[in-house]
Amino acid sequence: MKRWIFILPVLAFAGLAVFLGMGLTRDPKVLPSQLIDRPLPEFALPGIEASADGGPGFASAAFKGEPRLLNIWASWCAACPQEHPVLEQISAQGYKVYGIAWKDKPADSREWLARYGNPYAAVAADERGRTAIDLGVTGVPETFIVDAHGRVRMKQIGPISTQDWEQRIKPLMDRLRAEA
Amino acid sequence: MKWWMAIAALLVAAPVGAVLPDEMLSDPMLEARARSISQELRCVVCQNQSIDDSDAPLARDLRVVVREQLRLGRSDAEIMDYVVARYGNFVRLKPPVQMDTLLLWGGPFLVLLLGAGGLALWSRSSRAGGIESSPLTAAELAEIARLSKDGSPPR
């Protein structure tokens, strides 16, 4: 038999190793969002105030007119304090961040915001977690970038770092502002 | 207790997964359908478990959603679509056959075909002797003739 045939298994193995090795570098926790370029699913959530009805929260209809960030967080979320200063920075730069407290008691949400400060333009409570399911949320924190027409344009899974904000999200927000 | 009673009890006991009594539907037919749908849905938090097996709060929420949809009279396929519309095909523990999953479903057959081809090639070449032989040279023929002269047959 010809000599090259013995090289074949080695080549096949090398190919497989490269293919599987590439698979290892991907984070299986990050699922592609089904909402990209689709309108935000409809929701109307109460706020987190101490009153029985929770006070005013916000609805999906609020996402019109200018691009906004929709941040899913919770007082029990371990990575949220890490993301918090970046959210403060974002809102200080004049971008509106809306917050949904996911599967969180309003009293706990209030306490958390009192402790860390409130970067949100509006806060709503999704105690039963049903809006989060409509949004395809898999954990906290997650952030949706919603354009001026209420369409989801990007989803960030996990905390936003300063680098994420400056290199990916802020340029997109500015582009969406120019589009609007 | 007799040993056969213990075995009978083990045989009768059904696996219950992570489903809690307060989630269950009172209609046993609907509950059975809920269980079978849940076993096909991947938990997005602990990704190698179905929502039927997972204790994650999000898996519980999804089990409740499945049961709510069943009570609304939705079909199994409609409920599957409802969840897939939110989380994508990733949540199906059994991915559908479509263009981008063709390699996934066809891969094993492709490998089988490649293996069969390789085997056929190998067996044909080994039957043909494997080692390629060249015809004897004139010098070799002469040597055979010389050795054969003493009467013993060439081997």
Task: Give the ipTM.
Answer: 0.81
* Top-level class of domain A29-179: alpha beta
- Give the model confidence (pLDDT) of A35-85 as tens digits: 999 999 999 999 999 988 888 999 999 999 999 999 999 999 999 999 999
Residue B154 banded pLDDT, cuts 50, 70, 90: low
3-state secondary structure chain B: CCHHHHHHHHHHCCCCCCCCHHHCCCCHHHHHHHHHHHHHEECCCCCCCECCCCCCHHHHHHHHHHHHHHHCCCCHHHHHHHHHHHHCHHHECCCCCCHHHHHHHHHHHHHHHHHHHHHHHHHHHHHCCCCCCCCCCHHHHHHHHHHHCCCCCCC
Residue B153 banded pLDDT, cuts 50, 70, 90: low
- Give the model confidence (pLDDT) of A90-148 as tens digits: 999 999 999 999 999 999 999 999 999 999 999 999 999 999 999 999 999 999 999 99
Check whether B131 has a pLDDT greater than 80.
no
- By CA distance, what is A104's nearest residue in B? B57
What pLDDT was estimated at residue A5? 76
Pairing mode of beta strands A68-73, A97-102: parallel
Does this model's pTM top 0.90? My answer is: no
CB distance A139–B62 less than 8 Å? no
CB distance A136–B88 less than 8 Å? yes
Q: What's the mean pLDDT in B4-16?
A: 76
Range B10-99 classified under CATH 1.10.8.640: yes
Distance CA B92, CA B39 (A): 9
Distance CA A45, CA A49 (A): 12
Q: Where are the domains of chain A?
A: 29-179
Mutate to test the interface with A, among B86, B89, B90 (most CBs of A within 10 A): B86
Contact residues on chain A for B119, CB-CB shorter than 8 A: none
Handedness of CA B10, B14, B19, B21 (dihedral sign): negative
Distance CA B17, CA B53 (A): 5
